[in-house]
Structure 1
Amino acid sequence: MTKADFKKEPTRWASTPKFRFLQHKALNEKHLKISEKFNTLTPFNMHTLEKEKSYPFGVVTGGVPSSVVRDMFKEYGRDDIPILKLGAPYPFPEKLADTFMEACDKVLVIEETDTVIEYMLRDKRKTLGRLSGHVPMEGELVPEKIEGILNKALSDCELSPLSDHDCGQEAFSLVGGLELPIRKPTLCPGCPHRASFYSIRKALPKAIFPSDIGCYTLGSNLGVVDTVLDMGAGITMASGFWNAYIQDDVEKPIVATMGDSTFFHSGITGLINAVYNNSKFILVILDNHITAMTGMQPAITQGDRVDGSKGNAIALETIVKGCGIDYLKVCDPFDTKNMIKMVKDASKHVNDPDGGIAVIIARHPCVIGFKDEAIPEKIPVKITDDCNDCGFCRTRFECPALVHDEENERTIINKTLCAECGVCIQICPQGAIQKD
């Protein structure tokens, strides 16, 4: 293992404008040297040209599409079409690309997901791709789509296509024939965020709901997520909404939601800014003790580091108060009645002339990351004959374990999916969901 050895060199690591000019020059020289290496960096950057041979058509590609194109040419026996694969396109291997372009009359660029390689190719007259309309500007380049792109480009160049059938339509027909059920992304059974969103909407149904990036983005299904811009924007957009409406003397209810991990990553500065600018809204921090969406990494509040060692746990309450928040409450979202009241009380504070931002920490462990702790006492449930199939539990609460029995026209419980959290007992308008 290399030992730490920092050599002081302020002209490099803390350079003033004069030295930045020199550093920029040095960086350009490095890029040039790397580019030279990338010209011969096989198997990452390589082509299938035969020496001194010309081609009417070639394909420049990189990333996943490069594997798809190569497999496709092998399947259809099209060794007459050369490929330039650029697995390391920056700094751009100019000589390798120029050699390929010179050997081909036309070149089709297939790359995910933005136009990078295509912009770097010098001879745009030869280039087909997104800019020419041959490759769609949006959407994933799945194999069926790539085959269609190749067929069109080859036909436009008056060359034989790979196939004469619509592979995309064939794929749709195949999948359609399976009659698979349509399942939209939704929160897990027993997820505490579902209970939080239910309570927020129940308390303030006409509010604006800025949110953020995480599992809880799926609150859009529950009508409690109106905006998701970027990490931390749930708070800053809430502040912006308040200041926009207050210009017209309109006190619009605003409830922002943000996960505990997102708050630590990108919410703190936004909250300080909102406090400083006298914004007034409710912020609900959804504290599930974990960074669930990106792979169940430990949250900073728990004191567990990724390598399993112990770190210093940092309390959300301490940070929130340090941002200048005076109104701070903590609740368990599984108690929906209490949380509904808490949101309404927070709204009163926000609307008070002397009020300000109200923060509620909705704290309950993730049902996936903390199975035993999240639901320490299982509550099996049943649906009684009082169910009138109103669908409220399926649409407004949207637990995957609550499904529609079309034959009997009522809601039933999928016991395989049910986490037995018992929260659904609290939300049925008819009182038809009861403890079993």
Structure 2
Amino acid sequence: IQHKALNEKHLKISEKFNTLTPYNMHNLKSKTSYPFGVVTGGIPSSVVQDLFEEYERIDIPILKLGAPYPFPEKLADEFMDACDKVLVIEETDTVIEYMLRDKRKTLGRLSGHVPMEGELVPEKIEIVLNKALGDCGLAPLSDSDNGLEAFDLVGGLELPIRKPTLCPGCPHRASFYSIRKALPKAIFPSDIGCYTLGSNLGVVDTVLDMGAGITMASGFWNAYIQDDVKKPIVATMGDSTFFHSGTTGLINAVYNDSRFLLVILDNHITAMTGMQPSITQGDRVDGRKGNPISLETIVKGCGVDYIKVLDPYDTKNMIQEVKDAYAHVNDPDGGIAVIISRHPCVIGFKETAIPEKIEVLVTEDCDDCGFCHLRFECPAMVRNEETEKTEINPVLCVQCGVCLQICPKDAVEKV
């Protein structure tokens, strides 16, 4: 009964979207044929309209689909029938293009006219339109190559490619370093958070959705153990994500006797989405006090007996703790091990995250191996092209002192 009611509701919505509305509209003239038209949705709709107004191209009709689901098939067919060729410009995934029935008339990502990746900025959309118009034997928007000139200008600057990376002094970086140092051949399922950037450090192999770090770790264990293979598995998850989506997966893993190490990266805050307070701290969003929830208590309540809490800034200790935890995982009488890697976020707790500032410098022993800025990826460690040595950028350095422990050549020392 409910299914039928939903189908009827869906049909009514579809009928409304199949008429000209503020959401779905075109500017076709009655009984007029066009050699070329544009179907667009999202932000590109405004860009296309602005470009046509700027270049006074009233000869090109536009079908704007602001509500593409349920897909307005009648409206789309009406537009397609009036045009010899149609260019689809949409962001971000290919949706509208797939829904158009006459693929022989359709230009877009599938035809190679619209890039499969990258943001559709106005300059790029202008290039796309000019190419499609040219392929259809029509005049481009303009004779100038404004869009191409902009891209050539940026390309000629030879700007360095910078990957997104964790902040200077981020405790997650120290955690990832220790995990990989202790178990370099492990599988590393992870989760959604700023710690997803651990992929740069080789300690994040999978990111699916919130909570999947634990459930995929459990799945990997069961997939390998059926062939009697004990593969080391280290899952990572933030404290906020664990409270949000980790407990059910952990209970399921314990119940099914999966074996892996879970490292909960506890930085006392929900950093990625705007520095909202973590429930472990007892601070509500509106500033009022709440009742803090103990992470250790919740983990123990999920059935985990092996729980260790440590500070990741002490990398030597954490490396050993990771090895000890995996020994418990691998023990026939053991089970899932959980390490809570606890250190406040250096951005959210600027005054208290690093109580003892440690000023450091790079000595002449530096042999330009690049480990600190290429593998450890500390933004404050930069290579001086003239001296071919690493230097400390004092503007970025938060003086956490972790670099004293990770340099392979011991070329970092206190000032």
Fold conserved (TM > 0.5)? yes
Identity of aligned residues (%): 79
Paired residue total: 415
Match of 1:351 in 2: 330
Residue 20, structure 1, aligned to residue 2, structure 2: yes
Match of 2:345 in 1: 366
Within the candidate set 221, 237, 258, 2:237 is matched to 258
Match of 2:212 in 1: 233
Q: Which segment is superposed worse, 93-102 or 187-196?
A: 93-102
Q: 1:238-387 to 2 correspondence within 5 Å? A: 238-387=217-366
When normalised by structure 1's length, the TM-score is 0.87
Match of 1:61 in 2: 40
Q: 1:31-430 to 2 correspondence within 5 Å? A: 31-32=13-14, 34-35=16-17, 39-42=19-22, 44-93=23-72, 96-163=75-142, 169-430=148-409
Q: Distance in 2 between matches of 1:93 and 1:247?
A: 49
Q: Distance in 1 between matches of 2:256 and 2:74?
A: 55
Question: Secondary structure of the equivalent of 1:182?
Answer: coil
Which residues of structure 2 form unaligned runs of 5+?
A: none
Q: Distance in 2 between matches of 1:214 and 1:385?
A: 38
Question: Secondary structure of the equivalent of 1:239?
Answer: helix
Question: Secondary structure of the equivalent of 1:175?
Answer: helix
Offset from partner CA, 1:78-110 (integer Å, 9 cap, x none):
221122222233344456545434433332221
Aligned partner letter, 1:331: L
Q: Which segment is superposed worse, 107-116 or 285-294?
A: 107-116
Aligned partner letter, 1:407: E
Offset from partner CA, 1:291-332 (integer Å, 9 cap, x none):
212222222322333333443332211221111111011111
Offset from partner CA, 1:341-365 (integer Å, 9 cap, x none):
2111101111211111110000111
Change (3 A) 1:71 1:216: same
Question: Secondary structure of the equivalent of 1:371?
Answer: coil
Question: Secondary structure of the equivalent of 1:68?
Answer: helix
Change (3 A) 1:181 1:136: closer
Match of 1:16 in 2: none
Q: Distance in 1 between matches of 2:104 and 2:31?
A: 22
> Is the CA contact (8 Å cut-off) linking 1:208 and 1:254 kept in structure 2?
yes
**Deviation at residue 426 of structure 1 after TM alignment:** 1.9
Q: Which segment is superposed worse, 337-346 or 179-188?
A: 179-188
Offset from partner CA, 1:11-70 (integer Å, 9 cap, x none):
xxxxxxxx414532552354246436xx3433x433333455432211111111112212
> Is the CA contact (8 Å cut-off) linking 2:17 and 2:24 kept in structure 1?
no
Q: Distance in 2 between matches of 1:386 and 1:315?
A: 45
Q: Which segment is superposed worse, 405-414 or 300-309?
A: 300-309
> Is the CA contact (8 Å cut-off) linking 2:237 and 2:264 kept in structure 1?
yes
Change (3 A) 1:221 1:24: closer
Q: Which segment is superposed worse, 396-405 or 186-195?
A: 396-405
**Deviation at residue 159 of structure 1 after TM alignment:** 1.5
Quote the RMSD (CA, aligned, Å).
Answer: 2.4
Q: Which segment is superposed worse, 291-300 or 45-54?
A: 45-54
> Is the CA contact (8 Å cut-off) linking 1:385 and 1:432 kept in structure 2?
yes
Aligned partner letter, 1:41: T
> Is the CA contact (8 Å cut-off) linking 1:260 and 1:286 kept in structure 2?
yes
Q: Distance in 1 between matches of 2:58 and 2:36?
A: 12
Q: Distance in 2 between matches of 1:55 and 1:184?
A: 45
**Deviation at residue 279 of structure 1 after TM alignment:** 1.4
Change (3 A) 1:150 1:261: same
Q: Distance in 1 between matches of 2:177 and 2:212?
A: 22
Aligned partner letter, 1:177: G
When normalised by structure 2's length, the TM-score is 0.91
> Is the CA contact (8 Å cut-off) linking 2:25 and 2:65 kept in structure 1?
yes
Q: Distance in 2 between matches of 1:121 and 1:388?
A: 59
Q: Distance in 1 between matches of 2:251 and 2:215?
A: 10
> Is the CA contact (8 Å cut-off) linking 1:298 and 1:306 kept in structure 2?
yes
Aligned partner letter, 2:21: L
